[in-house]
A and B are shown apart, each in its own frame.
Chain A
Amino acid sequence: MSINLIVLYWNYIIVIMLMMAGLYIIISNQNFIKKLVGLSIFQSSVFIFYISLGKVSGGTAPILTGIEDTVYSNPLPHVLILTAIVVGVATNALGLALVVRIQEAFKSIEEHKLLALKKEDGLKDIQIEDSKEDSAV
């Protein structure tokens, strides 16, 4: 029974494995570029989930063949994911561009180093703001 379930729902199992792998990469790595790679693996798992849902077994591409009783795959999830892939490329490029800017400004793309920098800077910022308020008052 359980082997039968695995064979029947192998697409879900692969999707969950990919998704968890991506999530693990995002939370376990300090490097922003590795995080982006994890994010794109996570994204691909969602794509595969939708695409495999849209597949009808024995179905062809949704083009009218003229033959009656033709089974077509559901084109809606496929088109949705086509758009999502394009958006995914664009967001990936945006994320990489942000990482480049972070490297340029702070000379590091490791999260813990940036957090340490933020802690130092944050204390300074508060002091500066306090002095400004004092002078305004």
Chain B
Amino acid sequence: MRDNPVFKIVSKILFGPIIIYGLYVQFHGDYGPGGGFQAGVIVAAAFILYSMIYGLEEGRKLMPDWIIRSVMALGVLVFGGTGIASILLGANYLDYSPFAYKIYKAQHLGIIIVELGVGLTVFAVMLGLFNAFAGFKPHK
């Protein structure tokens, strides 16, 4: 079934729009429904679709395991780093107010950075879970 050209072409066409939709949900998250969790899952779904149609090896070429592991840690680093940055700027942990002169803009910036961290981690964890289960090889 994997060699069916319909699947290959449709997944190729859908790959870009799914990621764009994920980014829309990511950057819309501060004003409406959306945010890092949902966006991470949507972007991961695009890569999972690719892996399911073209095989796990092709998917791993597209997004190697070391990148997944680094992105997982990078997201947590962005989230925690935002909190530490606000401590260094003289406010409480994860208090966004010192990031810009207007408090409204500061909150806006802070939420977007934190959600970016959440999105990166969720994306990498989802893809990592899929790869771990799909690439499972029984012992001996």
Tell yes or no: A71 within 8 A of B by CB: no
Determine the chain A residues whose CB is within 8 A of the CB of B122 once the complex forms.
Answer: 86
Nearest residue (CB) in A for B138 is A104
Q: A104 to B137, alpha carbons, bound, how many Å?
A: 10
Tell yes or no: B33 within 8 A of A by CB: yes
Determine the chain A residues whose CB is within 8 A of the CB of B96 once the complex forms.
Answer: none
Tell yes or no: B101 within 8 A of A by CB: no
What string of 1s and 0s marks CB contacts (under 8 Å) between A46-64 and chain B?
Answer: 0000000000000001010
Nearest residue (CB) in A for B118 is A86
Known: A61-B32, A63-B31. A100 touches B37 (CB 8 A): no
Given contacts A82-B37, A85-B37, A96-B133, 12 further A-B contacts (CB under 8 A): A61-B31, A61-B32, A63-B31, A86-B37, A86-B122, A89-B126, A89-B129, A93-B129, A93-B133, A97-B133, A100-B133, A104-B138
Q: A128 to B37, alpha carbons, bound, how many Å?
A: 51
Determine the chain B residues whose CB is within 8 A of the CB of A86 once the complex forms.
Answer: 37, 122
Tell yes or no: B139 within 8 A of A by CB: yes
Please determine whether B33 and A100 come into contact, CB atoms closer than 8 angstroms: no
Determine the chain A residues whose CB is within 8 A of the CB of B37 once the complex forms.
Answer: 82, 85-86
Determine the chain A residues whose CB is within 8 A of the CB of B33 once the complex forms.
Answer: 61
Q: A85 to B37, alpha carbons, bound, how many Å?
A: 10
Tell yes or no: B136 within 8 A of A by CB: yes
The CB with the most chain B CB atoms within 10 A, among A61, A85, A89, is that of A89
Chain B residues engaging chain A, CB cutoff 8 angstroms: 31-33, 37, 122, 126, 129, 133, 136, 138-139
B43 to chain A, nearest CB (A): 15
Q: A100 to B31, alpha carbons, bound, how many Å?
A: 41
What string of 1s and 0s marks CB contacts (under 8 Å) between A84-99 and chain B?
Answer: 0110010001001100
Nearest residue (CB) in B for A78 is B33
B110 to chain A, nearest CB (A): 14
Please determine whether A104 and B139 come into contact, CB atoms closer than 8 angstroms: yes
7 cross-chain pairs, A with B, having the tightest CB-CB distances, nearest first: A93-B129, A104-B138, A100-B136, A61-B32, A82-B37, A86-B37, A96-B133
B105 to chain A, nearest CB (A): 14
Determine the chain A residues whose CB is within 8 A of the CB of B133 once the complex forms.
Answer: 93, 96-97, 100
Determine the chain A residues whose CB is within 8 A of the CB of B31 once the complex forms.
Answer: 61, 63
Determine the chain B residues whose CB is within 8 A of the CB of A61 once the complex forms.
Answer: 31-33
Q: A38 to B124, alpha carbons, bound, how many Å?
A: 26
Q: A63 to B37, alpha carbons, bound, how many Å?
A: 19
Determine the chain A residues whose CB is within 8 A of the CB of B136 once the complex forms.
Answer: 100
Nearest residue (CB) in A for B41 is A89
Q: A61 to B37, alpha carbons, bound, how many Å?
A: 17
